[in-house]
Amino acid sequence: MKSLLAIVKREFFAYFVSPLAYVILTAFLLINGYVFYLILLALNAPETPRTALMSLFFTNVFYWIFMMLVSSVISMRLLSEERKSGSIESLLTAPVSEATVVFGKFVGGWCFFLFLWLPTVLYPALLARHGRLDWGPVAAGYLGIALVGALFIAAGTFASALTKNQIVAAVIGFVIILAIFLVGIFKDFATDPRLRDALSYLNLIEHMEDFARGIVDTRRLVYVGSTAVFFLFLATRALDANKGR
Amino acid sequence: MLEVQNLSKSFYGTKAVDDITFRVESGEILGFLGPNGAGKTTTMRMITGFLPPTAGAVSLDGVDMAARPLEAKRHLGYLPETLAIYPEMRVAEYVRYRAELCGVPKKEAAARVGEALAKCFVDDVAKKPIGNLSKGYRQRVGLAAALVHRPKVLVMDEPTIGLDPRQIVKVRELIRDLRKDHTILLSTHILPEVELVCDRILIIDRGKIVAQGTPETLRQEMSHQPGLVLALKGEIAEADAAFRQLPGVTHAARIGAGGETRVVLESDRGVDLREAAFREVVARGWTLLEMTPKQASLEDVFVRLVSREADLAAAAEAEARERATTAEIPKIAEDKP
């Protein structure tokens, strides 16, 4: 447990000594600021249907593209960097298991992802000052963000275990994440109602819309949780198989 | 105490390490010697639990690595060959991180880090980022990180590679100093280092142990012809012939130069020529300037061992190839109607 914490801590703080972190942070704030501006415009327009505030965020194409890009970039270095430099040898000869290493790195990356979202709490706070705001759905929305982030970063961690090259890891990670995202989209093309239901279960946009309305559905939690664990398991196996190379 | 039993490792059917067995007692420094590609690093990676062995077992302080890896690794400090340490971390920060990783209790961590830094003479750079340090410093930081949890067994892969001579001396002193608290296994391909630092030597070549023992016994065992080197005053043409008559002398050679004659004598094993040679000199009325036992250097031993193995293997391979081709000829003939 203590060694897990040590790994999480080192992973999290390692982001802040690389320029990449600041590039991501800046781009993230710029784009989210722009999205917030668009939402404000929409909210002020009289023809806007009355809807949950957060769903304006989550049905936004910017949100999804950025989620996918940022997750793959955040997770690309987690394992590939250690293998490229050879420091994985020191790490795995310490009394920690591969699973602990993978999980610690995943949590470190995930914490950085959550850190990115921290400044955006300012937006609902600003809105709350100028009108009534239901904090329940906002909190659920953030929970949804955290969950989807966990899923994407777990997939990215797996990609990072496959190669020593960070760029290759980012590309593989992005492709996997995109595939996870697109599977649910195919719901709209399915004619068989059972298939439609199954795909809808995998649809992340619906998933986020639920959260935006303040609905925390356990099925969504199970889907995200089990898939993330599955990817972390794959990452552990891949690390075990590749470490000596 | 470190125990290695029948350890083997194959990569895609090629044996990199072939049935190695040895043990290192506590308080002992074992030098692991071999040419590049002999399987040193692979063996060390199996000992440290980084690579799983194809066959055989490793135990650190009585704890089996395969059965209880986390506990076994608690007794292990490892300095890998590719000394990759996170360049962005500061020295003390990194050693602290290793302490936490290895389960050093939080209350003791600060003291242990200080102790490890001081022991390895890196306390003066404690606040510097590792990436800004010279290779010698980084090597010692790696060592401090390997020591911080007070492991019983220390494994070091080429600890002095890439250092300048002054740093090499410092690191060697440090390693010798560590002997009292740790069981040490270090690999190297630098021969003088082994003689200076190690209590016992293990030479491996092509994944097999080809010799082991203390530097002295190895030298004795491997010097095929023990013998003497004599220096006599004046140029004496008949010197070699005179010594050749002595019982036990198998070979005598003479080199005369600059008013001096040097005679190299070789004898059978176990024969002490010194007294007979001295009497011969006195009887002939020569002046003896120098008498030294002829000693094979460890380098000779190493080169002889390794090249002999290589020759044998090459010969065996050639033979096998020949047999394969001759075996194929009748087969082809048979196929034809």
Interval A140-195: pLDDT, tens = 888 988 999 999 999 999 999 999 999 999 999 999 999 998 888 887 787 888 88
Q: Considering only CB atoms, which chain B residues are within 8 Å of A243?
A: 50-51
Q: How far apart are CA A208 and CA A55, in angstroms?
A: 7
Q: Residue B82's CB: how many other CB atoms inside 10 A?
A: 12
What does the pLDDT read at residue B337? 40
Q: List, in order, residues 6 or more apart from B132 with CB less than 8 Å away.
A: none
What is this model's ipTM? 0.85
A contacts of B50 (beta carbons < 8 Å)? 89, 92-93, 243-244
Q: Chain A residues with CB inside 8 Å of B70's CB?
A: 95-97
pLDDT of residue B237: 81
Cα–Cα distance for residue pair B337/B331, rounded to 1 Å: 12
Cβ contacts below 8 Å, chain A against chain B, sum to 72
Return the residue of A nearest to B88 by Cα: A17
Which whole-number Å values give the CA distances from A151 to A63, A78, A227, B216, in the listed order?
16, 15, 7, 62
The nearest CA of chain B is from the CA of A12 a distance in Å of 12
Query: Could you tell me which residue, A55 or A187, shows the higher pLDDT?
Result: A187
pLDDT of residue B197: 86
* Position B195, amino acid: E
Whole-structure pTM value:
0.80
Residue A228's pLDDT is 95
Under a CB-based contact definition with an 8 Å cutoff, are residues A170 and A72 in contact?
yes
CB contact under 8 A, A86 and B82: yes
The chain-wide mean pLDDT, for chain A, equals: 87
Q: How confident is the model at residue B315 (pLDDT cuts 50, 70, 90)?
A: low
- The residues, any chain, with a CB within 8 Å of residue B262's CB and separated by 6 or more, are B229, B230, B231, B232, B254, B255, B256
Task: For the beta carbon of residue B328, count every other beta carbon within 10 angstroms.
Answer: 10
Contact between chains at A94 and B84 (C-beta distance less than 8 A): no
Chain B CB contacts of A244 under 8 Å are: 45, 50-51
> Quick check: A95 and B101 CB within 8 A?
yes
pLDDT-wise least confident of A139-153, B25-39, B87-101: B25-39
First-to-last CA distance in chain A?
Answer: 28
Q: What is the pLDDT of residue A105?
A: 95
Give the helix/strand (H/E) hosting B177.
helix B165-178
Among A10, A92, A95, the residue with its CB nearest the CB of B50 is A92
State the sign of the Cα–Cα–Cα–Cα dihedral B259, B265, B270, B271: negative
d(CA B19, CA B24): 17
Task: Tell me the pLDDT tens digit for each residue of B268-298.
Answer: 767 778 888 888 889 888 898 888 877 666 6
pLDDT digit string, tens, across residues A127-141? 888 877 788 888 888
Chain A contacts to B (CB-CB under 8 A): 2-3, 5-7, 9-10, 14, 17-18, 85-87, 89-97, 243-244
Q: Which of B101, B156, B158 to mutate to test the interface with A (most CBs of A within 10 A)?
A: B101
Torsion of CA A14, A15, A19, A25, to 10 degrees: -160
